Amino acid sequence: MGILAVGSVALDSVKTPFGDVEEVLGGSATYFSTAASYFTGVAVVAVVGEDFPQQHLLALQNLGVDTLGIERKAGKTFRWKGEYGYDLNNARTLDTQLNVFADFSPRLSPEQRRQEFLFLGNIDPDLQRVVLEQMERPRLVACDTMNYWIEHKRPSLRSTLERVDILLINDAETRQLAREPNLCKAARTILSWGPKTLVIKRGEYGALMIDGKSAFGVPAYPLEEVIDPTGAGDSFAGGFLGYLAAARSGERSAMRRAVVFGSVMASFNVSEFGPRRLASLTYPEIESRFREFRELTHFEDL
């Protein structure tokens, strides 16, 4: 058994200082499942419109992703249009068209309900709970969220968090969610609401994992070419949860390696537009970058 991933499958138009693309395959479930596919089986639950190119589904299937749960509905596919400046840490959303995603209400098949690992992509926390309630006995639940839900759906998000093991979130969202400027205090507050572990994504600065006992930090891979940061967070989540599902361990050493594998997948993803680079990796390339991360961070004890 592998991972069930619920989120968006979208068509993205992105402009960065290094170029632009129109209507490429995007969405949280896309980036997540593409990254996770190198580690374990992933089934996606999402919705697309009649206009969604069949080739995109085939691309996911070629990676071994189970796309049976990607429902095709009358109407248009979710579209997102965004722009990044030289500060690639923050996207400026130019346009969001929810289209068929507006009425998305995930219905899981019996097989999907039995998956052991669940990733709740960045969707309405009400929907995240609709999924949670259909699961039989997930061994591990990870979820993502964003500033919009923190601002407009706080009580619902709090309810979701009560049932989540790992929250993946960026640092600004951590502070916003806890209403606390100090990141460590903010993390402690959020941990008291349910999640056992917080994985804080910090873009070009790396990631920080905090649980009740300890903290683990890893810098981002220093890249000379960052072309398009879209999907970095979901690629991270895919590498992270993918490795955990494959390792079948929630032990400290596995959790730490999972953060590194998340960082590895995010570092590949940002080096080309869309999920192109992420979709064309080999496992040896992934292992090799993992070792580079060790090289990047290792120092000897006293």
Question: Residue 213 Cβ, how far from its own copies at the closest point, in Å?
Answer: 11
User: Which tokens belong to 257?
Assistant: 């390696």
Q: Which stretch binds its own copies (CB under 8 A): 106-114, 128-136, 228-236, 250-258?
A: 250-258
- Min dist. Cβ of residue 300 to its own copies (A): 5
**# residues contacting its own copies (CB under 8 A):** 44
Q: Which of 81, 30, 19 is nearest to 53 (CA)?
A: 30
Q: Contact 119/143 with Cβ under 8 angstroms? A: yes
Residue 129 contacts residue 135 (beta carbons within 8 Å): no
Q: Is the separation of the CB atoms in 117 and 138 below 8 Å?
A: yes
Residue 262 found at the interface with its own copies (CB under 8 A): no
According to the binding rule CB under 8 A, does residue 142 interact with its own copies? Answer: no
From the list 6, 145, 130, the residue with the least C-alpha distance to 71 is 6
Instruction: Kindly write out the interface string for residues 201-220 of this chain, putting x where it contacts its own copies by CB under 8 A and - elsewhere.
Output: -x-xxx-x-x---xxxxxxx
The Cα 74–Cα 71 span in angstroms is 10
Whether residue 119 contacts residue 32, with contact meaning beta carbons closer than 8 Å, is answered with: yes
Instruction: Give the residue with the Cβ less far from its own copies, 107 or 252.
Output: 252
Near its own copies by CB under 8 A: residue from 90, 184, 192, 280:
184
Q: Per-residue x/- marks for its own copies, 68-97, CB under 8 A?
A: ------------------xx----------
Q: Which residue has the tokens 């593409």?
A: 34
Chain residues that interact with its own copies, rule: CB under 8 A:
17, 86-87, 181-185, 188, 202, 204-206, 208, 210, 214-220, 222-226, 253, 256-257, 259-260, 287, 290-291, 294-302
